[in-house]
Amino acid sequence: MGFSTDCIHAGQEPEPETGAVTVPIFQTSTYVQPELGRHKGYEYARTKNPTRSAVEANLAALERGKHGFCFASGMSATDTVFRLLSSGDHVIAGENMYGGSYRLFSKVLTRYGLEFDYVDTANIDAVRKAIRPNTKLVFLETPTNPMMTLTDIAACAEVAHAAGALVVVDNTFCSPYLQRPLELGADIVVHSTTKFLNGHSDSVGGVVILNSDEIAEKIGFLQNAVGAILSPFDSWLVLRGTKTLAVRMKRHEENGMAMANYISNHPKVKKIYYPGLADHPQHALAKKQMNGFGSMISFELGSHENAKKFLDRVRLCSLAESLGGVETLISHPETMTHASVPIEDRKRLGITPGLVRISVGIEDIEDLIADVENAFEEI
C-alpha cells in the first residue's frame, strides 16, 4: 500500500464486535481467561494491549519494518535499545545529538560499563577510525538536533556492519514520511512519538522499529520486563495522529521551506541551518536519502541578548521545548534542549547563546512570517 493509505489503515482493522472504524481505547489492566492455561491472546496489560498493538503495527508499517514496540517516552525507547548491550561494550554516537540522549549516555549508561566515543558521523572516516574490537552499536541522528547535520546512513551502515555492529537511527526529526532508515541499511529505528508522529503536542511516547526477529524477541522481552510501556490512551492519541501524518508533513514541508527562504535572506540572521537550502553543505545528501527537507530550522542571531529579545517578542510562535506539533514551536537550545551538554562541547558544535531553533507548524505561513518579522524588529 501507499504511505498515506498505510497511515490510515495499517494495523487498524475495524473492531470486530461493533465494526468501529477507530481502534477503541482498551483501558484495562488485565483480561479474563476462559479457563486455566488458555487466554485470548492477552494476559496482562503491561505485556500486551490491543490499542498499543495497533499503533505498534501501524508505526512499523510506516517505517517499512516488521516489528514495532511502543514505550512511555522516546528516551525509554532509546534506553531499551541500549539494554541489548553488556558491560564493556563500545558505542559510537554522533557528537551532536539531542541533549537528553547525551545525558542518558554520559550520566547513566556509562555507570553500567558501556563505553562511548562521540564523533562527527557526517565524516564516515571518523566513524571508521572510531571502530574498536568491542564496538557493538553506532547511534545516529540525521539531521542532528539542533545543527541539522546529516549522516549518510547507507555508508555508515556499511562500515558498522563490516565490524559486526548494529546501526540505530533516531528518526524523530524526519518521521517516516521524509526518511526511512531501515531501507537505507539501519538495523533499528527509534522515534519520540511525542513529535511529528503524534503531531498535536498532547502525548509523550516512543517507539522502536526493526526487522530482525531475533532482536525483536529481545526488545519484546525488555519491554515487558522493564514495563515502560505506552498507555492505551496515549496509543490511541498516536494512532489519531498518524492518520493525518502525510497531509501534515506535506504542509510542514511547504511552510518549512518558505520560512527557511525568508530567514536566510534576513539581514539580522548571521547563519541558518536547513538542509533544504542549496548552500547547506549536505544538500545533495539530503536530496538523496530524504523525501523532503522537513520543517526544523536553526539560525544564529549573534548573542544571547539578541536571542532573548527575539524569543520574548514572538506571539504566534510558541516558546517551548519539543517540536513536531501542528503549532509552531520555537526554542533556545543552549538553555533548553541542550543544557545538559557541557559548555565546551556546545561551543565547539555551534550551539551558541545566539542559536534559535524553530519547528515550523502548519499555520498560514503569512501569519508565521509576520510574527517572526515582528520579533526581528526587537533586535
Of the candidates 136, 180, 195, 243, the residue annotated as catalytic is 195
Cα dist. 371→116, 149, 155, 222, 311 in Å? 42, 27, 41, 46, 11
Of the candidates 79, 98, 180, 274, the residue annotated as catalytic is 98
Cα dist. 109→115, 135, 139, 343 in Å? 8, 15, 14, 21
Q: Is 243 a known active-site residue?
A: no
Using DSSP, state whether 355 is helix, strand or coil: strand
Using DSSP, state whether 77 is helix, strand or coil: helix
Q: Is 195 a known active-site residue?
A: yes
Q: Cα separation of 205 and 211, whole Å?
A: 21
List for the chain the helix, strand, coil content (%; round to 5): 40, 15, 45
Helix runs in 314-364, H state only: 343-349
Q: Is 112 a known active-site residue?
A: no
Using DSSP, state whether 315 is helix, strand or coil: coil
Kindly state the greatest CA–CA separation across the chain.
73
Q: Cα separation of 144 and 142, whole Å?
A: 5
**Angle between helix 365-376 and helix 245-264 axes, rounded to 10 deg:** 40
Of the candidates 42, 46, 120, 262, the residue annotated as catalytic is 46
Of the candidates 6, 170, 187, 234, the residue annotated as catalytic is 170
Asked whether the beta carbons of 256 and 274 are under 8 A apart, the reply is yes
Q: Cα separation of 331 and 321, whole Å?
A: 6
- Could you count the other beta carbons within 10 Å of the beta carbon of residue 352? 18
Count of all residues that appear for the chain in the document = 379
- Residue 64 makes CB contacts below 8 A (sequence gap 6+) with 176, 180, 182, 183
Q: Is 202 a known active-site residue?
A: no
* Residues designated catalytic: 46, 98, 170, 195
